Amino acid sequence: MSTLVDTNVLLRQFEPAHDHHRAAVAATSRLIEGGEPLHIAAQSITEFWAVATRSPAQNGLGLDIASAASAVAAIERTFEMLLSDEAMVYQHWKRVTGQRVFDARLVAVMLAHGIARLLTFNGADFAGLGVTVLEPQAVR
């Protein structure tokens, strides 16, 4: 079963002091080792970059451009596929949009690419959007 990895899981992998760091690393490692196709969306790379280059005082990682680029390169090497942002995504997005437009857009990427699950620490954010949520702590 294919799984989309949410931005918060990507970010936690680069925050060793965060409470969710171990769960993020363990969940993605276990799924990859188990042959699970894990995907990332172009939107998630954009969101990752925004948080990674923001200062810690503004709830960011405080990485410089070179470090953020290195982190993105590591993400791209780790995950099987960077899902494209195409016209088909836009067509799906128009059907699921609401107040949570960025979450709905990730769901649209999933629908457009036939991805069944979302690995996220924020499962409640995706309630009612028609996808199966997998919490990293639940991956065994």
pLDDT at residue 112 greater than cutoff 70: yes
> How confident is the model over 59-101, as pLDDT tens digits?
999 999 999 999 999 999 998 677 877 777 877 777 765 667 7
pTM given for the model: 0.88
State the CB neighbour count (10 A cutoff) for residue 89. Answer: 23
State the CB neighbour count (10 A cutoff) for residue 114. Answer: 7
By CB atoms closer than 10 A (0-12, 13-18, 19+), residue 35 is exposed
Question: Which pLDDT does position 96 carry in this prediction?
Answer: 66
> How confident is the model over 2-34, as pLDDT tens digits?
999 999 999 999 999 999 999 999 999 999 999
How many residues does the structure list for the chain?
A: 140
CATH H superfamily, domain 3-138 = 5'-nuclease (3.40.50.1010)
